[in-house]
Amino acid sequence: MPAGGAASASPDVVTVAVRVKPGSARVRVGGCFAGPYGSALVIAVNPPAADGRATEAARLALARALEVRPGAVTLRTGAASRDKLFLVTGVAGELDARLRRLRDGIPG
C-alpha cells in the first residue's frame, strides 16, 4: 500500500456476471439474479436477442452504470446466452462498491 494508507489507483480487471433481459421497454441496470456464474447483475435492454444486439446494448449499459468508458468492458463468455460474464477494467475497489449498490438496487 502506498505511503499514507491510500489505496493504489492502478487499473484492475473485475469479472462481472450479468443476466440480460432483452426486448425491455426501457434500459435498466440493477437487481440480482442467481445465475450459473453466481450472483449476477440484471441488465434490461431494448434490442431483441438477435445478431448480438442485446449483448452490445448490455455492454454499453454496464459501462454507463459503472462509470467506465465502453472500451473498458469486454465480453468474456455468453455471447449466445442471457447469462454472460464481462471483464471490466477499472479500479477494483471502486468497481466492487458500484456493483454492490447496483445489485442491491441502490441508486447512484
Please name every residue paired with 88 in a beta bridge, in sequence order, or none if there are none. Answer: 14, 73
* Residue 7, pLDDT score: 42
Is 19 part of any domain? yes
* Residue 91, pLDDT score: 83
* Residue 2, pLDDT score: 36
pTM of the model: 0.85
Walk along the chain (108 residues) and give the pLDDT tens digit of each residue.
333 334 444 578 999 999 999 999 999 999 999 999 999 999 999 999 999 999 999 999 999 999 999 999 999 999 999 999 999 998 888 888 899 999 887 655
* Residue 6, pLDDT score: 40
CB 38 within 8 A of CB 17: yes
| C-alpha 3: how far from chain center | 32
Question: Is the Cα torsion angle 49, 79, 66, 101 positive or negative in sign?
Answer: positive
Domain CATH code at residue 51: 3.30.1200.10
Alpha carbon distance 81, 87 (integer Å)? 16
CB 68 within 8 A of CB 61: no
Domain range for 48: 12-103
Structural domain tally of the chain? 1
